Structure 1
Amino acid sequence: MRALSSVAVLVGTLVLAGCGSSEDPVVGSPTSTAVSGVAENVPTGIDPCNIPQDVLTSVTPGLRKGTTDDNTSRGPIKWRGCGYIVSDGYANSISLTNLTLDMLREKNFPGRELTIDGRTALVTHQDFDPTGVEGCVVNVQMRGGSLEFSVENSHGSSPKTKHLNACDIGVSMAEKVVPLIAPGS
């Protein structure tokens, strides 16, 4: 799961690198104090560390909770969630974040938008490692941020899932988990 936490940091770094303007300090730098419009805390309405096992298994047989309390902050941007893994397969984190879809759209990551259970979702394909680790991040709109599914699937060392597309995994996971979000969240 160490690679998964590096994925979250990399995604956070990529997202935050462009959030400041030429007059403003880069978010997360020692002289920066806030980002306009960023909620102070992550959204509520689902506990990403308590996804029912039957939901996990319905996404991929063998998917189980890995690490707990994957709490990361980068300046005012926060992630609160847990990691999930398939032994000899992919790693996935599910986190609440105060990153909004508008903030992510500003980064112009390659991807697409879709609707999952009535919520707008942004699916961005990201290669985290030039050696064959495919990455995808799916952010689903919530009040004050988003629910983020970050998938890392190695085509070389994930024998059970190397044939699967990371974004297909992320969207499938979101389709199963998003209905668990409390209405109005």
Structure 2
Amino acid sequence: MLPSSNVFRAVGLTFGAVILLTGCGSGDNNSSGSTTSKSGPSLPADVPRTYDPCRDVPESVLASEKLHGQQTANSDADGGVKWRGCAWVRSNGYAVSIRTTNLTVDVVRAKKFPDSQEFTVGTRRAISTRQFEGPHIKEACTVDVEMKGGSLEFNLNNPPSNRDTGSIDSCELARALAEKVVPTIPPTA
């Protein structure tokens, strides 16, 4: 079992890499407060504020997944991309951040990440993507679930060396977690 500080250091590196891969650096601002790309859908100016993952993810969900060690995981990237939320870790298992972001499902789809899969969670559109290349592509998965003005993003890192979850596909884990959390989002969000 890795000490919590080492796990969160690894999670931080993973999230940093995702930020670099998902940044929308070639946008220009328009009068509506959103950023548009010459080749894709617009990016809202801010993250959805109707759901705070640090406060609103139920303790019962965290307990069912054995997630603990909550840490703030806010970040900004080039082009106005923003994330607001928290990260958790499961001892001998995966680490995950659950954050609101101004990346919409359409913006994520337009990035054409490997192994993209579209689906629904309840009535909300969702997309899972693998945002890394190379030998570790299967270790991480990002699920974005539609919200007004962006999405709720589940960024999960699950190396095969993790005793409890390492043999489970990271996208399967991220999708199962999303299925538990998304019903707690207000219907109007």
TM-score tier (shorter): 0.7 to 0.9
1:176 and 1:124 mapped to 2: Cα distance? Answer: 19
TM-score (norm 1): 0.83
Q: Residue 89 and residue 70 in structure 1: after superposition, are their counterparts in 2 closer, same or farther (change >3 A)? A: same
- The alpha-carbon deviation at position 138 of structure 1 amounts to 0.2
Counterpart residue type for residue 138 of structure 1: V
Q: Which residue of 2 aligns with 1:141?
A: 146
Number of residue pairs aligned between Structure 1 and Structure 2:
170
Deviations 1:43-79 (A, max 9, x none): 0222111222211233x2x222431x21100131100
Q: Percent of aligned positions with the same letter in both sequences? A: 38
* Counterpart selection for 1:47 from 48, 52, 57: 52
Question: Residues of 1 paired with 2:169 and 2:18: CA distance?
Answer: 18
* Cα shift at 1:40: 1.9
In structure 2, the gaps of 5 or more residues are 1-7, 37-41
Residue 183 (structure 2) aligns with: 179
Aligned match of 2:3: none
Shift of 1:89: 1.2
1:11 paired residue among 18, 23, 39: 18
Structure showing the higher helix proportion among its residues: 2
Q: Does 1:35 align with 2:35?
A: yes
Query: 1:128 Cα deviation (Å)?
Result: 6.7
Stretches of structure 1 that go unaligned for 5 or more consecutive residues are: 21-25
Report the secondary structure of 1:66's partner residue.
strand
Query: Which whole-Å CA distance do the structure 1 matches of 2:136 and 2:148 have between them?
Result: 37
Residues 138 and 169 in structure 2, CA contact (< 8 A), matched pair in contact too:
no
Show structure 1 runs of 4+ deviating over 4 A. Answer: none
Match of 1:116 in 2: 121
- Normalising by structure 2, we get a TM-score of 0.81
Asked if structure 2 preserves the Cα contact closer than 8 Å seen for 1:139 and 1:146, the reply is yes
* Aligned-residue offset at 1:125: 2.6
Aligned-residue CA RMSD in angstroms?
2.1
> What is the alpha-carbon distance in structure 2 between the residues aligned to residue 13 and residue 35 of structure 1?
17
Residues 155 and 129 (structure 1), Cα distance of their counterparts in 2 relative to 1, 3 Å cut: farther
What is aligned with 1:57? 63
Instruction: Quote the offset at 1:132 in angstroms.
Output: 7.8
Separation in 2, partners of 1:113, 1:159: 29
Amino acid at match of 1:148: E
